[in-house]
């Protein structure tokens, strides 16, 4: 499991991150630049930020989609990597990888939190 997480985290690169413009985020972490920067702007604000800056969109809708995509990628990886395991075993492995605790650890380690926009109150 730890090996799998380390392979996933290589997608995000290594090393400390510094603040930059929204457009720099994908290039600095994924080596990818968004063509649709409006989509990127929607992906970064927390609800607290959006509420403090009027009716700005938040990442919640994209989070819904991203959770599904991540779940599919992890499920496929486990299905191929562990053909000997039952559905129940695969489900447990997937749940241990795709959960708040594990994803928070990866996000912290990779410095992703610095890119999320929070209201001043939430940031405290």
Residue-level pLDDT, tens digit, the chain, 124 residues: 455 545 544 443 333 333 445 555 656 666 667 777 777 777 777 777 777 766 667 778 888 888 899 999 999 999 999 999 999 999 999 999 999 899 888 888 877 777 777 777 777 6
Give the sign of the dihedral formed by CA 75, CA 77, CA 80, CA 84.
negative
Ranges of H-type helices in 1-124: 2-9, 24-29, 37-43, 47-52, 60-81, 87-97, 100-110, 120-123
pTM attached to this predicted model = 0.63
- Reading the block at residue 30, the tokens are 């994924």
CA dist 59 to 1, 37, 82, 84, 89, Å?
Answer: 28, 14, 33, 37, 31
């Amino acid at each position: 499991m730890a090996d799998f997480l380390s392979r996933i985290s290589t997608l995000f690169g290594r090393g400390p991150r510094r603040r930059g413009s929204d457009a720099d985020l994908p290039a600095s972490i994924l080596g990818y630049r968004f063509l649709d920067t409006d989509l990127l702007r929607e992906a970064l604000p927390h609800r607290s930020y959006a509420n403090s800056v009027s009716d700005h969109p938040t990442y919640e809708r994209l989070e819904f989609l991203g959770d599904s995509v991540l779940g599919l990628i992890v499920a496929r990886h486990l299905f191929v990597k562990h053909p000997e395991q039952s559905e129940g075993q695969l489900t447990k492995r997937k749940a241990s990888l795709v959960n708040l605790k594990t994803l928070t650890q990866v996000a912290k380690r990779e410095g992703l939190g610095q890119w999320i926009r929070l209201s001043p109150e939430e940031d405290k």
